[in-house]
Structure 1
Amino acid sequence: MTMRNKLGLHGFVWEAGWNREQCARAIANTAALGYDLIEACALDPSSIDVDFTRRQLEAAGIGLTFSLGLASDADISSNDDDKTRRGEQTLAEIIAIARDLGATHVCGILYSAFQKYSIPTTAAGVARSVDVVRRIGEKAAASGITLGMEVVNRYETNVLNTASQGVEFCRRVGLANVKVHLDCYHMNIEEADVATAILETGPHLGYFHTGDSNRGYLGSGSIDFSRIFRALVRSGYEGPITFESFSSKVVGQPLEGILGIWRNLWEDGQDLSAHAKQFTEAHLKAAREAITHSQSSLV
């Protein structure tokens, strides 16, 4: 029996924040397109009304994941005790919110600040990050939550830029619920071979983002999605596949500046998201058929 990956949509295709009105619209729009889950940004945990969000999710019948990046003053990869304490407190707060909402995953740049660094990371800083993530991972495990260490490009962290670095970090943490979170937009920048990186991540892969090289419509950029989806299927990956796209029409500052979103590559979030779901389903189907037939031809 073929397993079906749950398909997710990042809330930023609909809204820049998560107040009650934004939350209700984003969840309803995502459910209307048939997605299994919505990924909510938790950069500002105080903006999340837990009871209201729970009611919206239950009414819509979809699941929830969270993503975030730590602020510069909460950088657990620094050698600053105050920053480390603030970062651990932020992560613990998000885990508690995720637990109360039944979220399955908390992903993103959980191991450092979400920023461009001007100097390399240090061994001591990475070791400190590993220790904090291990403690937070134990809290998450108690609530059945998977943590995803998102591997991002060099302009957004100096800690995890390649899949192999992500695997090594998770091995050092040593918890079954602390996984690698890969994103093909970032992999397109940093990896020598994206498909090989996916296969070599193997069982450490716990969450996957789709997004094209221009962060617009899937298939409108330079990424070879056929190879990516074949690698995902061949690896046996059964976790969520979530589409992420940004437009300055929606996100605004500070993300517009951090991510360099200077162009509106789309105006209609509904059309963008409907296309992404169809595109993902078609590529998954093609990948499964290709691998099934290649295996049967060897029998």
Structure 2
Amino acid sequence: MRRLGIHSFVWTGGGTQAMLEEAMENSAACGYQLIEFAYLRPEKFDLDRLARKAQSLGLEIAVTMGLPLSADVSSEDADVVKAGEELLAGAVAAVRDIGGTKLGGILYSAHTKYSTMPSDRGRKNSVAAIARTAETAKKAKVDLVLEVVNRFETNLLNTTAQGLDFIKATGSDHVTLHLDTFHMNIEEANPAAAIRLAGDKIGYFHIGESNRGYLGDGVIDFDRIFDALLDIGYKRDITFESFSSAVVDESLSLACAIWRDTWTDNMPLAKHAKAFIDLKMDEAVRRRTTNARP
């Protein structure tokens, strides 16, 4: 079943329980069926309360994160890799405890701009760590989805083809790809073709504009994106993601280079995004129906 979601950073930096609960209320009020959170540390948030809140609002929960350099599973340092695996295991447990459906993001490396090429040993360490994490996630009934991002946020998985090679190397049937139109617009020669290449290996999908702002105000060809999603029969979750320095927390602003306000009023943005995505999906369906007529 496809659900339309929204990232909590549209609403809040997420520093307190109250902020997250308000983000959930705003998401449901706009008609979204899923909310995406950044990693929720059990010592900081009441996960049971968030789970009950989500259930009362009819919201599913997804969690995404990126690893710090101190816990980079693509490191050549065994202790750093171990720290990364422990962090991932804790994240899987948090997703389980909040009643979430998936853990995604940059789980296979640090979320940073690297100054070196990835090493063969580092890639093998990452593959092995993700394979083990996948087994933990499978037992917890949490989907593990690896986000393919641009060259300024990782040096390991920048294209769909690289992502497919990576998940094949894990040997796990519980690892899929998390694709994002913002990142694909930077790295893929043909984003629609990349979607078709990935096919049923796409486990989660982010919709974001090239400038991180209002959908339709950038250069991404969403008609081709939605045509490709229909072509592969994609029925999993789609989440709107947009960042502005007016809302997003400082650490993510630094990691994602959010240096300006792409918007200042989040409610109109969220309502517009839902209407835009619904419209583009409906248009893609109509194009397919029209083209199928004899």
Same fold, judged at TM 0.5 (above): yes
Q: How does 1:61-76 map to 2 (within 5 A)?
A: 61-76=58-73
CA–CA separation in structure 2 for the residues paired with 1:236 and 1:174: 24
Mark the runs of 5 or more structure 2 residues left unpaired by the alignment: none
Equivalent residue number for residue 105 of structure 2? 108
Q: How does 1:56-205 map to 2 (within 5 A)?
A: 56-205=53-202
TM-score by length of 1: 0.95
Equivalent of 1:269 in 260, 266, 271: 266
Q: How does 1:215-226 map to 2 (within 5 A)?
A: 215-226=212-223
Mark the runs of 5 or more structure 1 residues left unpaired by the alignment: none
Structure 1 window deviating more from structure 2 (105-114 vs 251-260): it is 251-260
Does the residue aligned with 1:47 lie in a helix, a strand or coil?
Answer: coil
Contact 1:20 1:52 in 2 (8 A): no
Contact 1:180 1:206 in 2 (8 A): yes
Question: Deviation at 1:175?
Answer: 2.0
Q: Deviations over 1:165-196 (max 9, x none)?
A: 11111111122221011000000000000100
RMSD across aligned positions (CA): 1.2
Is 1:245 the counterpart of 2:242 in the alignment?
yes
Question: Deviation at 1:252?
Answer: 3.4
Question: Deviation at 1:202?
Answer: 0.7
Identity over aligned pairs, percent? 45
Give the paired residue count: 294
Equivalent residue number for residue 49 of structure 1? 46
Question: Deviation at 1:234?
Answer: 0.7
Letter of the 1:148 counterpart: V
CA–CA separation in structure 1 for the residues paired with 2:45 and 2:82: 22
Equivalent residue number for residue 213 of structure 1? 210
TM-score by length of 2: 0.97
Letter of the 2:85 counterpart: E
Contact 1:11 1:39 in 2 (8 A): yes
Is 1:227 the counterpart of 2:224 in the alignment?
yes
Question: Deviation at 1:54?
Answer: 1.3
Question: Deviation at 1:98?
Answer: 0.9
Distance 1:50 1:43, change over 3 A: closer
Question: Deviation at 1:43?
Answer: 6.8
Q: Deviations over 1:111-130 (max 9, x none)?
A: 00000000000111111111
CA–CA separation in structure 1 for the residues paired with 2:115 and 2:244: 26
Contact 1:9 1:243 in 2 (8 A): yes
Equivalent residue number for residue 19 of structure 1? 16
Letter of the 2:286 counterpart: E
Structure 1 ranges of 4+ moved more than 6 A: none
Does the residue aligned with 2:204 lie in a helix, a strand or coil?
Answer: strand
